[in-house]
Structure 1
Amino acid sequence: MEFGDKIKELRTKNQLTQEKFAIRLNVTRQAVSNWENDRNLPDLEMLILISSIFYISLDDLILGGNNVNNMTEKLIKDGSQIRQAKLNMVTTLIGAFLLFFGFACFFIKANSVEYVDASGILHENFYLLPIGFLFIFAGMVVFLVTGIKFLIAIIRKKTA
């Protein structure tokens, strides 16, 4: 059973009009109508309120039996999008930190003092140059891979 059919069945079984049901949920009658006609779906907080009004478990309300309905698909899709957004944010932060550390290595190298000690040995922190290049390269790779994955996701979304 689709989510809209489930809401309509529960509402009519409890002898509520769309208007009365909307008042109890503090939404408009049009919102209830959109839910029942599967044009729109309520958010999670609204689902919890609906389940408490009708004394029905969230499993029964969302899943509506053994078949996957449009509400279940929406929740799965929303969860997937949230995970993808978090992954993009984390990889962007990692790339930014890598770039920052790379440029910090160059800055330290440029502002450090090179000297020759009493025994004639040159003291220079040359190692900062390859480390800086490594950090910058790694940061660019992270940004490039994240950007390509994001573009692929947008293209797939447009073609679907």
Structure 2
Amino acid sequence: MNLGEQLQSLREGKNMSREELAQEMNVSRQAVYKWENNKGYPDIENLIKLSEFYNITLDELIKRDQQFQKKISIDEKEKKFEEFSDPGFYIGILLVFIGLFTELGSFSVGLTILGFFTIVFYDDFKKLFLDLKKDFMKRS
């Protein structure tokens, strides 16, 4: 039995409509329809809510659906790859190496520190820069 069939069976076992379950889960009726017809999967938060609502473990909920388990493992592999495809990581590493292998005194130390900050805080720097740019454009 796949996840969709199991979700439908559990809902029907409680004599609930999709609308009632959607209200209980705070999602749309269409979301419940997609879950039950294997056109989409609930996110982890909704899986936890469903397991609590139906009083079953997450393991019982997803264990029988091999396709869903494969999707989870593929998503995890893609996420691991994405960690190293971040431009901030590469910019930061470049700044660290330039700082370490140039002999410019305190400027080299500053580049190295800036490189480490870029690796860690790239997304924050990018958001800050974009916000400043947006504010500047509004004032112009």
Matched, 1:96 2:91: yes
State how many pairs are aligned.
Answer: 105
Q: State the Cα distance separating 1:6 from its structure 2 match.
A: 0.8
CA change 1:72–1:101 in 2 (3 A) is closer
- The gaps in structure 1 that reach 5 residues or longer are 112-160
**TM-score, normalised to structure 2's length?**
0.65
Q: State the Cα distance separating 1:70 from its structure 2 match.
A: 2.6
Q: State the Cα distance separating 1:47 from its structure 2 match.
A: 0.1
Query: What do residues 37-65 of structure 1 show as CA deviations (whole Å, max 9, x unaligned)?
Result: 1111110000000000000110010112x
Cα root mean square deviation, aligned: 2.4
Contact 1:35 1:41 in 2 (8 A): yes
Question: 2:13, 2:45 → 1: CA distance?
Answer: 23
Specify the alignment match of 2:33 in structure 1.
Answer: 33
Matched, 1:70 2:67: yes
Q: Which has the larger radius of gyration?
A: 1
Specify the alignment match of 1:45 in structure 2.
Answer: 45
Question: 1:49, 1:99 → 2: CA distance?
Answer: 44
Equivalences for 1:1-160 in 2 at 5 Å? Answer: 1-64=1-64, 68-89=65-86, 93=89, 95-104=90-99, 105-106=101-102, 108=104
Question: 1:14, 1:38 → 2: CA distance?
Answer: 20
**TM-score, normalised to structure 1's length?**
0.57
Identity %: 28
Question: 2:2, 2:96 → 1: CA distance?
Answer: 53
